[in-house]
Amino acid sequence: MGLSSIITIIIFIVAAIIIFKIVKTILKTIFVILILGLLLTSIFGFFTYKDTVKLKDNLETESKLILLQNNEKIIAGFITADFEKEPEFLTISQITEYQNNFKKENYKKILGDNYKIFIIDMKAFDFNDEELDFVGKNVSKNTLYSVLKSNDPIVLYKSKTGVDPGLYSINDPVKFKSQAFAVLFSEAIEKQGQFFIFNEYKKKNVIIYPETAVFKFIKLIPTSFIQNIFENAKDSAINKINQTIGGN
């Protein structure tokens, strides 16, 4: 074997050793990164899960201010803590005050003594011919849409349905809209549970204040993860809202 062949073999061996060490270092680094990533994901997932479960429980018992907005204008809302009890439907004066703070994005002042604020865009709801029980009659969601968009919802409802809301002691137009909103909201909760709020939040159709870790990172969390936690959170007592605002 010639000298040149020996030198070539030595260079090959040295190169192989160097490449092996480099690959080993890279693989070791990748392994460490994967382990750290898995650890951080597990920690994040654990605290997010705890936060979500706590939130789910609080949503069922704590006072919540639920507002409806259209084109950046608050048009209706109600306050509820227990779905088995009648919610407090907001009036013109209350909505006006909330609207002024909403324009300033002063959510803390809107919150008041409530646990959470949920400001829901009308785009979150499907308006179609499906009928819901509302103030003495089964009416379509399209009719409720007209009520919410109208400047004189009580007169409009009477002309469309023949039912006079005044017979149910309903005279405040904003309070009437708030009842229509509550019917739509309760129907969505009946179908999807509290997942409705999370899902629409991901679509940017809901503003939530104050935000917890769940909401701050929810866009990074798979929808199925949230859905699995909330899929059994549908509260049958929500029907009590419909019975109340349906005039029964």
Dump pLDDT digits (tens) for 173-213.
999 999 999 999 989 988 887 778 888 988 899 999 988 76
Instruction: Decide: 166 and 201 in contact? Cβ < 8 Å.
Output: no
Q: Is residue 131 part of a domain?
A: yes
**What is the spatial distance between Cα 116 and Cα 62, in angstroms, rounded to a whole number?**
8
DSSP class of residue 116 equals: E
Write down the pLDDT at residue 48.
Answer: 63
Q: Is residue 39 part of a domain?
A: no
Q: Is residue 189 part of a domain?
A: yes
Domain containing 122 equals: 63-245
Q: Model confidence at 81, in pLDDT bands (50, 70, 90)?
A: confident
Could you tell me the pTM of the whole model? 0.71
Q: Is residue 41 part of a domain?
A: no
Q: Is residue 238 part of a domain?
A: yes
- What digits encode the pLDDT tens for the residues 3-50? 666 777 777 777 778 887 788 788 788 877 878 767 766 666 666 666
- The most confident of 52-56, 156-160, 198-202, 210-214, by mean pLDDT: 156-160
Letter for the amino acid at 98?
Y
Count of domains observed in the chain: 1
